[in-house]
Chains A and B, each alone.
Chain A
Amino acid sequence: MAGVTLDTVRKIYAGNVEAVKGVSLDVEDGSFCVLVGPSGCGKSTLLRMIAGLETISGGDIRIGDRVVNQVEPADRDIAMVFQNYALYPHMSVYDNMAYGLRNRKTPKDEIEKRVKEAARILAIEPFLDRKPRALSGGQRQRVAMGRAIVRKPQVFLFDEPLSNLDAKLRVQMRVEIKRLQKALGVTSIYVTHDQVEAMTLSDKLVVMSGGQIEQVGSPAEVYRRPETRFVATFIGSPPMNILPGKVEGPGRVSVGGQTIAVTDMREGLAPGSAIEVGLRPEDVQAGGAAGSSSLGMDVDFVEELGATQLFHGKVAGTDFVVQASTGQIPAETRKLTLSIDPANVHLFDPQTTKRLGRF
């Protein structure tokens, strides 16, 4: 098994469109790395470059200690699971899984052993003789996974493998992929636009935007300490509220004339300068509390989510969402006082959008 290292990897398409702008990343051996970002952020292109399906315009890609820039996909010792499964429609499930091994001249009994083993792990033994078209979406997904694991590759690549499944199956397959990866211990790189998938699957979360990496870290790190406003609003659901504010002094900012205490604030910011104040909907509480600052909110409407309710409204003229356990705040409330824990306030530079926290 091997890790994957990217060194200032670039992709420039004809017409000077730069899809990937110098990405450097270390994926440790055996870890599960998720690339997440909106459509067109270059995450799929990056994955296809690792697979060898796209040429590399600049930089180096290493699998283990080997630079693979010019190596054919077949010789990179990787396996890929595609969004539309990409099963061979004219072959049975067994042949789909055996194809890669036959191409590599694996002995027949070894092929049979490995395919049976994979089919057992994935619970697709009853379907080995069927053609893919006779399978459901979830079963096809398993066959695609099976095709990847029989090869025992150095690296698994997943290109949005769950986006063609319905919501319930997606959650189920997500858990299975995680379990399988832990059991096999194969380095995995997984591309998705779904931040819930990204948070739940990854050991290492890579948030991308506009062909660049915005932040790399464990899911908890990325959630607790987003490095840019983009990451702050992309990771977390519902997204973080961003309010325009002013620097008042060390550890203090104000929003619409209401002062808030902040724990994680860069030193030396000029009082009176503009700043963006980020608050997660789940981090603000209704009602006053000791040691907290408070903000007034006008409520417009309430969304019911069952266990929780989302209160939509305005704070100092800016849209704001508060998430609260159902029943904690009466649904007919029109004016709320929110208490803010200083540790839960995120500050961003309005120009560079970078985090203005302590170093």
Chain B
Amino acid sequence: MEKRAHFSGWTLPLLLILPQMAITVIFFYWPASQAIWQSFLREDAFGLASEFVGFENYIDLFKQPEYYRAMITTAIFSTLVAFFSLSVALLLATQADKSLRGGHAFKTLLIWPYAVAPAIAGVLWIFMFHPTLGTLARPIRAVGIDWNPMLNGNHAMILLVLSATWKHISYNFLFFLAGLQAIPKSVIEAGAIDGAGPLRRFWTIIFPLLSPTTFFLLVVTVVYVFFETFGIIDAVTGGGPAGQTTTLVYKVYADGRLGGDLGGSAAQSVILMVIVIALTAIQFRYVERKVQY
């Protein structure tokens, strides 16, 4: 059923949408336009003067090997986090969907990590895996692995994937659980009577019926890995060792804030903005079509 309000004049409706418009303009359109403008400027070393350089910032950017390396790092990072956070969340959701004793407590506990701030999540994982302080690093070193995320880029990446995955499982879990509960029980029962064992039921009935949820979560997770893992990266590795865990977003911060290259950093932001707009567009298109079936 469609709900519709009818207004006699223009004043009230305009007043009602004003707060949302103000927020969007101040926090999105204005900074976005600033970033685009900034990306065409180049500042001197002291930040006293700036000149218009056109697309030179972009051209410089694509000449940097570091930029391509950040792309590859981001691709690896997001693939790993998306794969693990989706598959673990799906596994947990299928288990939580069974009627278990204490199931509610289980579900509540699984949702908690989502409430932890990224930087704090990073610190938690550092405490566990710091090469000298970490409570879990000691047993790892004890079995003969030279565990050191401070020096070894692969170890640093593993630690980041762990913490970013851990934090995002809650979100994916919630959506998968809701998706599972939306599948009519009788369809699963019909499958059981039709001679499909639990695994076959999962892959031939449940998983295809969950595909809209899975697709939605895939896009959301990629956006999360791109943009919201900044806090974790900053707290855990700071992009290191030697830039080996610098993602596209972290490079924006590193170049702009630490390196003082505002123009180059703005150009990177604009590219990221295009990526996120593209992802959102794909998602809207498919969610509106209700996907697959």
Interface hit among B38-46, B73-81, B122-130, B182-190: B182-190
**How far is A229 from B192 in the complex, measured between Cα atoms in Å?**
40
Judging by beta carbons under 8 Å apart, are A88 and B205 in contact?
Answer: yes
A83 CA / B190 CA spacing, docked (Å) = 11
Q: Mark B270-287, 1 if CB is under 8 A from A, else 0.
A: 000000000000000000
Interface, chain B (partner A; CB < 8 A): 184, 186-187, 189-197, 200, 204-205, 208-209, 292-293
Asked whether any CB of chain B lies closer than 8 Å to the CB of A80, the reply is: yes
Which B-chain residue is minimally distant from A72 (CB atoms)?
A: B192
A205 CA / B2 CA spacing, docked (Å): 46
Given contacts A89-B293, A90-B209, A131-B293, are A74 and B184 in contact (CB under 8 A)?
Answer: no
Minimum distance in angstroms from A288 CB to a CB of chain B: 57
Distance of B188 from chain A, by nearest CB (Å): 9
Task: Known contacts A89-B209, A90-B208, A90-B209; decide if A103 and B196 are in contact (CB<8 Å).
Answer: yes
Contacts of A218 in B (CB 8 A): none
Asked if A189 CB lies within 8 Å of chain B CBs, one says no
* Interface SS of chain A: loop
13 new A-B contacts, CB < 8 A, other than A74-B196, A90-B209, A100-B195, are: A51-B193, A53-B189, A53-B193, A73-B192, A80-B190, A86-B187, A87-B190, A88-B187, A89-B187, A90-B205, A99-B196, A104-B195, A131-B293
Question: Which one, B186, B195, B205, B208, contacts A74 given CB within 8 A?
Answer: B195
Q: Which residues of A54-94 are within 8 A (CB) of B?
A: 72-74, 78-80, 82-84, 86-90
Q: Which residues of A contact B209 (CB under 8 A)?
A: 89-90
B200 touches A82 (CB 8 A): no
CA distance A72 to B195 in the complex (A): 9
Q: Does A147 count as interface, using CB distance less than 8 angstroms?
A: yes
**Can you list the 6 inter-chain pairs with the closest CB atoms, starting with the nearest?**
A100-B194, A86-B186, A103-B195, A90-B293, A74-B195, A86-B190
Residue pair B193, A73 in contact (C-beta under 8 Å): yes
Is the CB–CB distance between B193 and A84 below 8 Å?
no
CB neighbours (8 Å) of B200 from chain A are 103
CA distance A219 to B170 in the complex (A): 57
Query: What residues on B are CB-neighbors of A103 within 8 Å?
Result: 194-196, 200
> Which residues from B are CB-within-8-Å of A88?
187, 190-191, 205
Contact B186 A82 (CB under 8 A): yes
- Shortest C-beta distance, A191 to chain B (Å), equals 14
Q: Which A residues, 141 to 189, have Cβ-Cβ distances below 8 Å to chain B?
A: 147, 151
Contacts of B205 in A (CB 8 A): 88, 90
What is the CA–CA distance of A131 and B197 in the complex, to the nearest angstrom?
24
Query: Contact: A86 with B184, CB < 8 Å?
Result: yes
Contact B194–A84 (Cβ < 8 Å): no
**CB-nearest residue of chain B to A85:** B186
